[in-house]
A and B are shown apart, each in its own frame.
Chain A
Amino acid sequence: MSSTLSKIEKRTAYTLLLPAVCLVFAIILFPIFANVWISFKEVGLKDIRIPEPRAKKIIKNIQDSNSELKIIYKLRNSSLIQDIREVRFSDKLPKNIEPVNLDKRCEFKSQKVKCFFGNWEAGYRENFEISVKDVNNNAINSKYIKSNKPDLNGKSNNILLTTDFTLKNFKNVFINNNFFELLMTTFYFTFFGTLGAILLGIFAAQLVNQKFNGRTFMRSILLFPYVGPVVALAYTWTLLLDPNSGTINSLLVNYGVIEKPINLLGQKYLIINILGFELKLRLALTTVIFFEIWRYFPLAFLFILARLQAIPKDLYEAADVDGAGPFRKFFYITLPQITAILSILFMIRFIWNFNKFEDIFLLTGGASGTLTLPISVYQQGFAVSNIGMGSAVSIVIVLLLITFMIIYFKLIGKKANEI
């Protein structure tokens, strides 16, 4: 009895899970594996369009007679780079209408013109004509003939499905494209973005954890940057930081802080002189990191606040009795209580920031020293139109991600479920 019940239970479970699992498999897991496949191929953006045989039908009346017509098909291969094999063509003619002097490649059967055109090379074009005539010498309704669309099909190589592989993409990724700098930029961005967001989050959480008027209001406001759409926020920031008439630069110039506007998003290095040492600051990258911090500190804030509110009050009361000030309370009570959540936050935000695409893409597009790995995927795939290269960079990202995840689960995976 119980075994049949458990069988039913299993069957139900699988039916309930099936749709979700299938969808996730098709849209998330399959692409990850497909990346591996594509990354070993030399594929450009233009190659992925499958070549199609196409025909445009034009009707020409023949003078003298209205019971005869000429149909011209403008045939072409839609692809300029790939051949189509065994092109077949068929078009239906209305009743009582028959072709005259039909092309050798074609035959007429049960009111259908069927042709076999063989192979079309890349960029093939042909004007193919059929003359038709009404059997009873009645006038032909040319509109009716035109309304029938010809049917074409052919075989072509889908470049994605062939089995010729190459290591060229990986060679390009690691050797030709300054891979080390790309990696370092990504790590700078990720590390400082994560660290800054968490530090700011600690401050904000500590702040909102006190009692003051408008505390709930403050809590909602602090989440705005995360809730708002990235497109709107990124463009607002671009306008704010614009060197020509951006608000920040104009204000700074107006108050005499700087003499000339600084192109915060378009300048790669800012050279600062401190005690005779020239410090090169990655300016655009720093600005992007600040945006990142601004946008994601709310998340850190949310978690740290939740943890702060769970700290037992009597710890603080005991500290009050001992006469500890607020700073000492923070360092000796609060901080030890939140280190666990901080480490988890750091790991997870690190992984997420590592993959951030939109923010940098919308602010700088990867220019002026802000090219990170995810931006590189887009650039290779869609700006340079080299799908294979883009996939190869994706693979690098996936491999690094897996490494991070292994570290994460080894270090704090078990703790994560307790909090």
Chain B
Amino acid sequence: MKFKSLIITLLASSIFLTIIICIWKILATLQGLSFTNLNFNLNLLLSLGLVITCVSIGKKFNHNLKIFILSLSFTILYTFLNENSPLWFSLGIFFLILFFTNKLKKYDLKYLNQDFISEKIVFEFLSLFAIVFFALVVLFPFYIMFVTSFKTQTALLINPIDLSIDFSKNIFEIFKSYFVIFKTYDFGRYILTSSYVSVGTVLITLLFAIPAAYAVARLNFFGKTFLSTSILIIYMFPAIVLVIPLYTVFSQLGLRNSVEGLLIVYTATTLPVAIYMLQGYFKSIPKEIEEAGLIDGQNWFGIILKIIIPLSLPAIASVSLYVFMIAWNEFLFSLMFLDNPKVFTLSRAINHLTGDAETPRQYLMAGSVIVTLPILLIFIYFEKYLVSGLTAGSVKG
């Protein structure tokens, strides 16, 4: 039993370390280091040696001293055995090994003697690996988007994997794509249009949805159950089946190429989910509070304005953020309805940039950063509200 867990620990941990080193190496390649070989086998042997030393020393030494000395010596060994690399790369390796040996703290021969320990160990390293994997998979495209926007076309063509930012240039040169995007491609206007459309959609949606949600949640009327089930069903119908009739009608009414047309469509498509989310929250407000309001002589509008809205601010916040996100990210309708650059939204403008094959990719990425950054910042800042909005908006609808 002990022998089996020992082998499994050795394998799992050293494979983990090797993969982490490989990832670090690949990321370093993107910073302009010219590695062409991952040296997987060599590094696996090295890691194996490291783990064996670490586990056999066990708790005989001061832990901090032990991991420091081990990391230092193995970093030196690694640098000696692998190709030449700058100091920052070795420093990265050093910290990786430091982190790794720290994780191995509790692993000594005694610990490995426990029952069922091998499965636990595999699971532990698997989770560590999964954290790195998910973080990498999710963030990598965002990283590429961000870094590419600071490059120049020629640099990208000469060495497409060197994505390092040249800080020796002056600030204007570094941010050149952003200046071009704003000056030549008029992105300032598109930011304004996008904000205007998104905020407008939020306001109009709330204006329509709050009364409707209140009616669905509280009042009795003929066709109530029918209405509340049809809200969900309507929300299931995708934009793509609405596009052709709306396009024809909007062209004939002259609503294409207008912000108003977009506002109408966005509001209508977000209304069902907004009503659904709000009515759920309204139902959770105790009826007694409203009855007190009724006795005070408030009419329905007074109740909504003075009791319901102040009490359901969190729900209204999540609906607003969710609707804002939908409107800001919306692409299909803006593609269909806008072909005049004067009324483009950001998404449509970026799509328009790609229409010209000559547009350098750093401009495209700068535009993408501009459209992505606000929504990500809003998301990070209001995460709690947006997450509850996402939850209600996507499965229920």
Contact = CB atoms under 8 A, between A and B. Distances in A.
B230 to A, nearest CB: 9
Interface string A207-228: 1001010000010111111111
Interface stretch (B59-67, B75-83, B180-188, B206-214): B206-214
Contacts of B142: 224, 228, 236
Chain B binding surface, main DSSP class: helix
Contacts of A357: 238-240, 332
Interface in B224-258: 224, 227, 233-234, 236-249, 251-252
B390 interface: yes
Contacts of A405: 233, 236
Interface string A225-261: 1111111110111011000011100110011100000
B246 A27 contact: yes
A416 B265 CA distance: 29
A48 B251 contact: yes
A247 B239 CA distance: 33
A12 to B, nearest CB: 5
Given A247-B160, A327-B119, A228 B375 contact: yes
Given A28-B237, A254-B29, A302 B219 contact: no
Interface residues of A, number: 97
B242 to A, nearest CB: 4
Interface in A18-55: 19-21, 23-24, 26-32, 34-35, 38, 43, 48-50
A274 interface: no
A72 to B, nearest CB: 28
A221 B208 CA distance: 33
Contact of A377 (B240, B300, B369): B240
A302 B160 contact: no
B240 A35 contact: no
A326 interface: yes
B215 A227 contact: no
Contact of B214 (A16, A19, A158, A327): A16
Contact of B332 (A19, A28, A254, A358): A358
Contacts of B224: 13
Contacts of B30: 247, 251
B371 to A, nearest CB: 5
Interface residues on B, range: 35 or more
B155 to A, nearest CB: 11
Contact of A239 (B148, B233, B390): B148
A235 B395 contact: no
Contacts of A38: 244-245, 248
Interface centre among B141, B221, B264, by most chain A C-beta atoms within 10 angstroms, is B141
A82 interface: no
28 contacts: A16-B219, A17-B216, A23-B267, A23-B271, A24-B234, A28-B268, A160-B252, A207-B130, A212-B131, A218-B134, A220-B380, A220-B383, A222-B134, A232-B371, A255-B36, A302-B391, A325-B116, A328-B119, A352-B238, A352-B394, A355-B239, A357-B240, A358-B331, A374-B240, A381-B244, A382-B336, A397-B240, A401-B236
Interface of B: 26, 29-30, 35-38, 115-116, 119-120, 123, 127, 130-131, 134-135, 137-142, 144-145, 148, 156-157, 160-161, 163, 208-209, 211-212, 214-216, 219-222, 224, 227, 233-234, 236-249, 251-252, 264-265, 267-269, 271-272, 275, 300, 325, 328-329, 331-332, 336, 346-347, 350-351, 354, 361, 364-365, 367-369, 371-372, 375-376, 379-380, 383, 386-387, 390-391, 394-396
Q: Sorted from nearest, which 3 A-B pairs have the closest CB atoms?
A: A27-B268, A355-B238, A325-B119
